[in-house]
């Protein structure tokens, strides 16, 4: 296959070279000026045709692929609605500029093609034009940047006081979730204590009382309640990962040793979104949006957005990780049998 590709490229260059040589011989026979004028007319017509076909192609691709993008699907978070609005404004501005500049570019080539008795007008400098095409784009870009920073500082700033805090930790190649217990606090962790074999994937310090009711989930799914602010505290166990929540319009790096945060308010449960999309298999996905190693492609998680009641029911069904590691300390666990009396009786 490689040999075939190389041979094809060489053949294309040979054909182009031969066409160029043939054009050179024709120009010698016809005369340089006449040949140049003819080529100029052909190129001008081709430019106009390319403009028309190109714009039709842009519209056709939009009509064909638009439904496969996230744009027709409403943001699943309330904060994402602002980001969608900013995206639409950006697309409108850049789209209008794109169409205008392309029409001017290709139509000018056709309109000002070389003609007998017509001379080109050159102006090396024009202050008004320089100011126009420098200041106007700068103003539009400044407005977009200001809006972007405003929304960014909002979702990465202080979350509402009633926000539910959830830790999400990335490792090659899956996600680990931690929920605070009834005390509402996360226990301390230490990276040297991390041990999957000992049931401590986050390095929890067991002598910290706040750790004794923390819930650690290592399966695929994170559960969150609808219409309630959720603050994600993001960590990484090894390399840089990235928590990508495309349906919620959120994204944040997971950096080793540097916790990052973002918060959002989900506005549709998973079941409601299945109805909105008409897809019974719909799920909210967590993707790793940072190349993190050979298994990066499979680093996927799921967010299950539940009703408030279903979320509490699910949370109550989970057991603290402390009691998974130390089952003998779990409430209601059978106390170790007292063998002292038996030993004494045997001795007597």
Among 226, 218, 228, which residue's Cα sits nearest to residue 195? 218
Predicted pLDDT at 9 = 84
Nearest alpha carbon to residue 218 among 144, 137, 318, 308: 318
pLDDT at 32: 63
* Plot region of 249 (φ>0 → left; ψ -120 to 50 → alpha; else → beta): left
What's the pTM? 0.77
C-alpha triplet 317, 318, 320: angle, nearest 5°: 140
Q: What's the pLDDT score for residue 174?
A: 93
- How many C-beta atoms lie closer than 10 Å to residue 339's C-beta? 9
**Residue 77 · residue 265 · CB < 8 Å:** yes
Query: What is residue 334's DSSP assignment?
Result: P
Segment holding 241, helix H or strand E: strand 241-245
Q: Domain 164-328 falls in which CATH fold?
A: Immunoglobulin-like (2.60.40)
At 46 the pLDDT is 85
Report pLDDT for 334.
Answer: 62
pLDDT value at position 230? 96
- Give the C-alpha separation, 151 to 39, whole Å: 53
Domain map of the chain by residue range? 21-114+128-156, 164-328
Mean pLDDT by 10 residues, the chain (348 residues): 84 81 65 70 85 90 88 90 91 90 88 79 82 89 90 92 95 94 92 92 94 93 96 95 95 94 95 92 94 92 95 93 89 60 47
Give residue 128's pLDDT: 87
């Amino acid at each position: 296959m490689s040999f075939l590709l190389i041979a094809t490229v060489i053949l294309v260059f040979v054909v182009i070279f031969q066409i160029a040589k043939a054009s050179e011989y024709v120009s010698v026979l016809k005369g340089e000026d006449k040949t140049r004028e003819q080529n100029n007319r052909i190129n001008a017509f081709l430019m106009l045709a390319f403009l028309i076909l190109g714009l039709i192609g842009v519209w056709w691709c939009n009509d064909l692929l638009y439904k496969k993008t996230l744009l027709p699907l409403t943001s699943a978070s309330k904060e994402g609605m602002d980001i969608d609005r900013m995206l639409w404004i950006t697309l409108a501005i850049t789209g209008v500029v794109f169409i205008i500049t392309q029409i001017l570019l290709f139509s000018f080539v056709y309109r000002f093609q070389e003609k007998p008795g017509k001379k080109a007008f050159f102006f090396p400098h024009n202050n008004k034009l320089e100011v126009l095409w420098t200041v106007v784009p700068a103003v539009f870009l400044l407005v977009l940047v200001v809006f972007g920073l405003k929304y960014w500082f909002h979702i990465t700033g202080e979350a509402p006081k009633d926000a539910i805090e959830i830790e999400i930790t990335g490792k090659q190649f899956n996600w680990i979730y931690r929920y605070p217990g009834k005390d509402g606090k996360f226990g301390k962790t230490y990276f040297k204590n991390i041990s999957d074999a000992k049931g401590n994937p986050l390095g929890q310090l067991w002598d910290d009382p706040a750790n004794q009711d923390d819930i650690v989930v290592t399966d695929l799914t994170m559960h969150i309640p609808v219409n309630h602010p959720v603050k994600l505290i993001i960590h990484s166990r090894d390399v840089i990962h990235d928590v990508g929540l495309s349906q919620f319009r959120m994204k944040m790096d997971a950096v080793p040793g540097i916790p990052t945060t973002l918060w959002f308010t989900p506005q549709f449960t998973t079941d409601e979104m299945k109805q909105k999309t008409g897809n019974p298999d719909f799920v909210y996905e967590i993707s790793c949006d940072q190349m993190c190693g050979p298994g990066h492609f499979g680093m996927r998680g799921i967010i299950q957005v539940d009703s408030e009641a279903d979320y509490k029911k699910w949370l109550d069904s989970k057991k603290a990780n402390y009691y998974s590691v130390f089952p003998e300390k779990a409430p209601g666990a059978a106390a170790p049998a007292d063998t002292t009396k038996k030993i004494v009786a045997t001795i007597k």
